[in-house]
């Protein structure tokens, strides 16, 4: 057993001299003192045998007196300490003095029932006639230890770092939060000056303040009004708040310092100050209001915008800023805020103090209490009057430029000529976004001799550049088609033209068709264009199966053409990608949709114009929502001629007479005597040219329509005849002049075998 208390007094003698007379009386007085002691008193001899105990010992340890006398004192020591206790007892015999037992150690006693309890023990030597004894005053410190544990528990449970120092500024106790906050282990702090935790530049001042607190000890914040800082073990500083409390203890006065890291709060305060500065320096009006519309905050920009000072605005209802016809709008906005909804970029009108109307952009959001309930709202208001004025000017300018661009585009696109016998309907819708111009075009070209050329193309891209490229290509394609050039040759020429334009990354899709209604054929060449659709009474609507090469502008591509059978009266449908391509639909699906809509339209519409309107309504229900040009061309093939006749002639002079004779017989059978004379003369001139300048065999082909007679002479020479003016003494050079004079129209077109020269006469 041992303790940390201190017993005062000198060694005692229990003999006759101490009583100055009667030994029995002295012993009785000693026993009386022993029994009156507040602590348990255990007196042992040099061998550690218990010789005397008092009643407090019986109460404390639970033994009767007779159970202790003569027993080793280790009986009262927990088993794990007995060996160590025996050594300490022997050591005390060599150095007998009044002192606490086991100073600095945690001592425990052992009761009869086996329970342990914390004790303090004070040792005093006794000199007796029976030899030296040792008196041990044993005190149960369970309650004090429990109180200390409670104190330490409270200390450890404190949310702040707790540092307890003595009057000299030495650290006596810290909690775990102190270790976390300052980065020291507990043993590195205990016994060290508290200035260890203070930045160097403040230490001298801190020592003075600590001395001043010793003279005026009270619970108060430390350094009121000052910026306090702590110093971590790693040398970093941080802002702190410190609350000081005096403690009175048995060991003297102490001071408890509760240290709180306020880094986050200081940072938040700094951010709040920065935000407040931003709000006040904002060029936008910023105001706060309650849910019933009462203004609670008004920044400088709000004063500049509306003309009210903060004193005039705060407390008034925000409705004062709305015009008379916008009062209901204020109530609706407050209701949305009350429901917790944010309102972003709401454009409206507001009225100033002097009655001026402002176009404003308002963003509002609800403000919430700590329990997340909406208690008010904040608003950022921007004056957009200048922007609205500029927008109106830009809109007018945009519409003007759009009108100019569309006029230019339509001028470049041209209007296809009406071709007798060919029913056609076309639709062009410019894009509804941007300038509205693009690179779509289409053309119908009369090629003579009953043939018609059909062109459709799409210059990829938007804007005036695409429209300019389109205009050049359309003009070139029209001129090339008028020469009678075959589709594949025309496409090769356009490919070269696109390359010569030197427009980077410019691609063009194009399709050229030559319709020959007499033969019931359409010759097609497609350069990357969408499939051509054909509708016939027997088969409905289907795609024409033709080879599709790469778009124009790729270069070094051999374009192919093919002939497909299309009976007279069949309807061709040509279109650009704006009609069927949408961002959210598969192009195959949209193409099938076009086929279905076109089939229904042609079956029910009385004419192609009505059918075209039905197709656009079915594919583009919202005519104002397409972002690309839309082009649609419907062309119905002319009816077949009433009659045809063909013969072949050798390239010899007698072919002229044979041709005239055959022509006369056929015209007589067709009841076309009114055209016989001119027809015979023109046939004679054309066959004569073929015999003299070409090679055979020669082909003579005639066909009649209700209004026209067409005669074609084909040969195997690619050399094209050139009209010229003959001098008076020349025998030749007048034949083509006669053809040009007498025929209603004439021309030459190349063929795979050579060429065909044709002329027409109206009946």
pLDDT of 307 over the 90 cut: yes
Band of pLDDT at residue 81, cut at 50, 70 and 90: confident
Band of pLDDT at residue 661, cut at 50, 70 and 90: very high
Band of pLDDT at residue 740, cut at 50, 70 and 90: confident
| Tokens 């639709």 sit on residue | 427
User: CA-based Rg of the chain, rounded to a whole angstrom?
Assistant: 59
Band of pLDDT at residue 36, cut at 50, 70 and 90: confident
Maximum average pLDDT range among 321-325, 425-429, 646-650: 646-650
Cβ contacts of 14 within 8 Å, gap of 6 or more: 26, 27, 30, 126, 127, 128, 129, 133
Q: Give the up-direction half-sphere exposure of residue 27: CA atoms within 13 A in the CB hemisphere.
A: 8
Tokens of 31: 């026993």
pLDDT of 150 over the 90 cut: no
pLDDT of 235 over the 80 cut: yes
> Which DSSP string corresponds to 727-745?
PTT-SSS-HHHHHHHHSSE
Q: Between 431 and 216, name the one with better pLDDT.
A: 431
Strand locations in 592-679, DSSP E?
A: 630-636, 643-649
Q: What is the DSSP letter of 639?
A: P
Instruction: Count the Cβ atoms, other than its own, within 10 Å of residue 106.
Output: 11
Q: How many secondary structure helices (H) and strands (E) does the chain include?
A: 21, 34
Task: Specify the pLDDT at position 17.
Answer: 43
Task: Specify the pLDDT at position 205.
Answer: 83
- Range with the poorest average pLDDT among 62-76, 215-229, 510-524, 533-547: 215-229
Task: Specify the pLDDT at position 9.
Answer: 37
Task: Specify the pLDDT at position 506.
Answer: 72
3-class state of residue 93 by DSSP: helix
Task: Specify the pLDDT at position 763.
Answer: 84
Q: Where are the alpha helices (DSSP H) in 621-701?
A: 654-669, 676-693
Inter-residue contact 477 to 446 (CB < 8 Å): no
- Look over the chain and give the mean of its residue pLDDT values, rounded to a whole number: 84
Mean pLDDT for the stretch of residues 682-701: 91
- Range with the poorest average pLDDT among 2-6, 267-271, 691-695, 743-747: 2-6
Nearest-angstrom CA–CA distance, 257 and 247: 10
Tell me the percentage of the chain whose pLDDT exceeds 70. Answer: 87
Mean pLDDT for the stretch of residues 79-92: 81
Cβ contacts of 701 within 8 Å, gap of 6 or more: 644, 645, 646, 711, 712, 713, 714
- Range with the poorest average pLDDT among 112-126, 429-443, 446-460: 429-443
DSSP H/E element including 252: strand 252-261
Maximum average pLDDT range among 113-117, 121-125, 268-272, 395-399: 113-117
Q: What is the DSSP letter of 717?
A: -
Instruction: Count the Cβ atoms, other than its own, within 10 Å of residue 439.
Output: 28
pLDDT of 733 over the 80 cut: no
Give the distance, in angstroms, between the CA of residue 265 and the centroid of all CA atoms in the same chain.
Answer: 32
Q: Give the up-direction half-sphere exposure of residue 488: CA atoms within 13 A in the CB hemisphere.
A: 15
Tokens of 532: 């051509």
Q: What is the pairing mode between strands 548-549 and 521-527?
A: parallel
Distances (CA, A) of 306 to 302, 364, 622, 647: 6, 17, 43, 95
Task: Specify the pLDDT at position 624.
Answer: 66
Band of pLDDT at residue 10, cut at 50, 70 and 90: very low
Task: Specify the pLDDT at position 732.
Answer: 60
Q: pLDDT (tens digit, 9 = 90+) per residue, 399-436?
A: 776 666 666 666 666 677 778 778 899 988 887 665 55
Q: What is the DSSP letter of 167?
A: T
Q: pLDDT (tens digit, 9 = 90+) per residue, 520-548?
A: 899 999 999 999 999 998 888 999 999 99
Nearest-angstrom CA–CA distance, 417 and 84: 126
Tell me the percentage of the chain whose pLDDT exceeds 90. Answer: 42
Q: pLDDT (tens digit, 9 = 90+) per residue, 338-351?
A: 998 999 999 999 99
Nearest-angstrom CA–CA distance, 662 and 763: 19
Task: Specify the pLDDT at position 719.
Answer: 86
- Range with the poorest average pLDDT among 13-27, 88-102, 112-126: 13-27
Cβ contacts of 575 within 8 Å, gap of 6 or more: 456, 530, 594, 631, 632, 633
Band of pLDDT at residue 2, cut at 50, 70 and 90: very low
Q: pLDDT (tens digit, 9 = 90+) per residue, 245-256?
A: 888 876 778 888
Mean pLDDT for the stretch of residues 665-687: 91
Nearest-angstrom CA–CA distance, 626 and 640: 39
Nearest-angstrom CA–CA distance, 467 and 461: 9
- Range with the poorest average pLDDT among 122-136, 210-224, 552-566: 210-224
Task: Specify the pLDDT at position 462.
Answer: 67
pLDDT of 200 over the 60 cut: yes
Nearest-angstrom CA–CA distance, 554 and 558: 11
Mean pLDDT for the stretch of residues 263-270: 85
Mean pLDDT for the stretch of residues 71-90: 86
Nearest-angstrom CA–CA distance, 49 and 73: 6
Task: Specify the pLDDT at position 7.
Answer: 36
Helix 487-501, helix 464-482: angle, nearest 10: 140
Q: Between 571 and 5, name the one with better pLDDT.
A: 571
- Range with the poorest average pLDDT among 6-15, 104-113, 135-144, 577-586: 6-15
Q: Between 315 and 6, name the one with better pLDDT.
A: 315
């Amino acid at each position: 057993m041992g303790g940390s208390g201190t017993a005062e007094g000198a060694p005692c003698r229990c003999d006759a001299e101490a009583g100055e007379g009667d030994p029995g009386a002295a012993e009785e007085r000693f026993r009386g003192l022993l029994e009156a002691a507040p602590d348990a008193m255990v007196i042992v001899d040099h061998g550690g045998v218990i010789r005397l105990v008092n009643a407090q010992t019986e109460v404390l340890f639970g033994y009767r007196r007779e159970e202790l006398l003569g027993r080793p004192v280790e009986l009262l020591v927990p088993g794990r300490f007995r060996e160590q206790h025996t050594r300490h007892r022997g050591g005390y015999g060599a150095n007998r003095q009044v002192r606490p037992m086991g100073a600095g150690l945690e001592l425990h006693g052992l009761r009869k029932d086996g329970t342990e309890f914390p004790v303090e023990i004070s040792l005093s030597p006794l000199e007796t006639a029976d030899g030296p004894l040792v008196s041990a005053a044993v005190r149960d410190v369970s309650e004090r230890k429990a109180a200390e544990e409670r104190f330490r528990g409270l200390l450890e449970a404190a949310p702040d770092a707790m540092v307890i120092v003595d009057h000299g500024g030495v650290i006596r106790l810290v909690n775990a939060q102190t270790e976390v906050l300052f980065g020291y282990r507990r043993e590195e702090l205990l016994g060290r000056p508290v200035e260890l935790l203070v930045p160097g530049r403040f230490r001298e001042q801190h020592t003075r303040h600590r001395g001043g607190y010793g003279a005026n000890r009270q619970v108060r914040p430390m350094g009121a009004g000052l910026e306090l800082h702590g110093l971590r073990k790693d040398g970093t500083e941080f802002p702190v708040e410190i609350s000081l409390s005096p403690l009175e203890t048995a060991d003297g006065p102490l001071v408890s310092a509760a240290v709180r890291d306020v880094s986050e709060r200081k940072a938040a305060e700094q951010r709040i100050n920065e935000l407040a500065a931003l709000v006040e320096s904002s060029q936008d009006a910023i105001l706060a209001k309650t849910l019933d519309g009462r203004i609670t905050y008004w920044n400088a920009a709000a004063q500049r915008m509306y003309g009210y000072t903060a004193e005039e605005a705060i407390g008034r209802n925000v409705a004062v800023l709305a015009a008379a016809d916008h009062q209901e709008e204020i109530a609706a906005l407050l209701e949305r805020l009350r429901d917790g909804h944010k309102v972003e970029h709401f454009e409206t009108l507001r009225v100033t103090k002097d009655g001026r109307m402002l176009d404003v952009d308002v963003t509002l959001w609800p403000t919430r209490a700590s329990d997340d309930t909406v208690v008010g709202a904040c608003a950022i208001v921007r004056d957009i009057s200048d922007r609205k004025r500029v927008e109106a000017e830009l809109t007018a300018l945009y519409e003007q430029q759009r009108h100019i661009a569309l006029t230019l585009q339509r001028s470049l696109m041209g209007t296809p000529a009406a071709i007798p016998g060919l029913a056609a309907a076309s639709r062009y819708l410019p894009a509804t976004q941007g300038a509205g111009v693009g690179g779509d075009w289409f053309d119908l070209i009369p090629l003579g001799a009953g043939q018609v050329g059909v062109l459709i193309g799409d210059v990829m891209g938007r804007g005036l550049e695409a429209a300019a490229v389109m205009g050049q290509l359309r003009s070139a394609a029209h001129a090339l088609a008028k020469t009678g050039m075959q589709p594949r040759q025309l496409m090769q020429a356009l490919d070269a033209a696109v390359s010569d334009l030197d427009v980077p990354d410019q691609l063009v899709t194009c399709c050229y068709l030559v319709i020959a209604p007499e033969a019931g054929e359409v010759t097609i060449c497609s350069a990357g264009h969408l499939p051509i659709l054909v509708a016939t009474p027997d088969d409905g609507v289907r795609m024409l199966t033709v080879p599709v090469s790469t778009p124009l502008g790729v270069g070094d591509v051999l374009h192919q053409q093919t002939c497909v059978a299309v009976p007279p009266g069949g309807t061709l449908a040509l279109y650009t990608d704006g009609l069927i391509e949408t961002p959210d639909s598969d192009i195959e699906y949209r193409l099938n949709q076009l086929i279905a809509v076109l089939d229904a339209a042609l079956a029910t519409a009385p004419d192609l114009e009505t059918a075209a309107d039905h197709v656009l309504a079915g594919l583009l229900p919202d005519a104002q929502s397409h972002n690309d040009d839309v082009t649609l061309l419907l062309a119905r093939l002319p009816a077949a001629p009433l009659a045809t006749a063909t013969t072949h002639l050798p390239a010899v002079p007698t072919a002229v007479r044979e041709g005239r004779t055959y022509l006369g017989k056929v015209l007589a059978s067709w009841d076309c005597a009114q055209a016989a004379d001119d027809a015979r003369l023109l046939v004679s001139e054309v066959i004569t040219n073929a015999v003299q300048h070409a090679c055979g065999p020669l082909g003579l082909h005639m066909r009649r329509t209700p209004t026209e007679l067409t005669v074609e002479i084909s040969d195997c020479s690619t050399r094209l005849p050139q009209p010229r003016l003959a001098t008076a003494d020349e025998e030749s050079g007048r034949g083509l002049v006669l053809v040009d004079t007498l025929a209603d129209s004439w021309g030459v077109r190349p063929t795979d075998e050579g060429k065909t020269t044709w002329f027409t006469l109206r009946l």
